[in-house]
Amino acid sequence: MANAVMGYKQSSFPTKLAAISGIALLIFIILPFVFGDFQLSLMSKLLLFGSLGISLDLVWGFTGILSFAHGVFFTLGGYASAYYLKLNLSADSNTYGGELPDFMVWNGLETLPWFIAPLKYFPVALVATVAVPALFAYILGYFIFRSKVSGVYITIITLAISSALTTFFVSQQAYTGGTNGITDVSKLSFLGSPIPPIGLYFIILAFTVFVLALSWWLTQSNLGLILRSINENEKRIAFLGYDVAQFKIFIWTLSAALAGMAGGLFVPLNQFISPVYLAVAFGTQVVIWVAIGGRGTLVGPLLAAILLGQVQNYAEKVTQDWQLVIGILLLVVVLFIPNGLMSLLPKQLSLANLSKPKVLQTSDAVKN
């Protein structure tokens, strides 16, 4: 997963970073063979949450848009994938034997709604997991960013969206399964045979590496430079002739697409999706991973999601008050370690260097 990092760093610290990223990837490849079933599915889940964190880092850490709606994008992708899996249940494992999912029967639907029916086919579902959240984000982004709305108000809008969609999904029981969401879905299968948990783990690992590599490449490109500049001084970038809104909409949509993909992979793993993941609480969770891991570090949110998830797993056996620990951790990070836990790492190992614009280096050169 850290391979991508290596590429850039090769010029300055080739051996050290090659070793670290190689070892990191190796650990993640060996891991499933060492751990039991429970750890396997937990790690798969945490990798997905980490990817979700990375997608938020793109808009928050790099572009300065704090969003509580990334859980929403994640869940939209999740629902698309859940409909696919639900509609592909074999007839005998479906409670009512028919084609119609159980929750639709309970709520008195007679036929499959036209907007859900196409999701029975894999290519359609695959496109939908990406396209639905991306399209929603695009419309939203177009609406928000082409206006004078800024900073905190955008965050409040994302809060409202999360709250409104939760209410909407809960109320549309016949179509969404209400509070319970979509449960008892079939397993993801490949050429007719179900994919084993370890296969799913490797798919998810590959996805995480893809998200990390893509994000890293983006942030190192000229586009990334512009995004960071927008974060630093939006007005100046606008005066330089860049269409700030366009860049924001682009990264916002891309980030939502990545979040949606993560959600799409989450359902085969988790075997259900519900409005819990739409709610503000889950959106906050994503924000917390990024804040604690370190904004603008990409690897930080991933590590934070894995670390917190693992600690939570053990802590919850001892105490019921895990959330309190998270709250205190968040407060401490905001007050005393504003750049997140990644900034505590020694400079050579830290990805935070990478997020510093290259411009800084040239201006240093000029000074010298």
**Is residue 171 at the binding interface for another protein, with CB under 8 A as the rule?**
yes
**Is residue 238 at the binding interface for another protein, with CB under 8 A as the rule?**
no
Total number of residues that touch another protein (CB under 8 A) = 46
Please tell me the distance from the alpha carbon of residue 220 to that of residue 214, in angstroms, as a whole number. 10
Please give the structure tokens belonging to residue 32.
């499933």
Region from 111-119, 144-152, 196-204, 244-252 binding another protein, contact rule CB under 8 A: 144-152
**Is residue 233 at the binding interface for another protein, with CB under 8 A as the rule?**
no
**Is residue 155 at the binding interface for another protein, with CB under 8 A as the rule?**
yes
Residue type, 347: K
307-329 burial: b if 16+ Cβ within 10 Å, else e: bbbeeeeeeeeeeeebeeebeeb
Judged by beta carbon, residue 128 or residue 288, the one nearer another protein is: 288
Please tell me the distance from the alpha carbon of residue 184 to that of residue 37, in angstroms, as a whole number. 19
| DSSP H stretches of helix in 58-96 | 70-87
Judged by beta carbon, residue 18 or residue 276, the one nearer another protein is: 276
**Is residue 161 at the binding interface for another protein, with CB under 8 A as the rule?**
yes
**Is residue 232 at the binding interface for another protein, with CB under 8 A as the rule?**
no
Site for another protein in 289-348 (CB under 8 A): 291, 321, 323-331, 334-335, 338
- Which of 159, 195, 223, 315 binds another protein (CB under 8 A)? It is 159
State which H helix or E strand residue 334 sits in. helix 322-336
Do 333 and 291 contact (CB within 8 A), yes or no? yes
Percent composition of the chain: helix, strand, coil (DSSP 3-state, to 5): 75, 0, 25
CB of residue 80 vs another protein: minimum separation in angstroms?
A: 20
Please give the structure tokens belonging to residue 250.
């682009």
Binding site for another protein (CB under 8 A): 66, 143-144, 147-153, 155-157, 159-161, 163-164, 166-168, 170-171, 178-179, 275-276, 279-281, 284, 287, 291, 321, 323-331, 334-335, 338
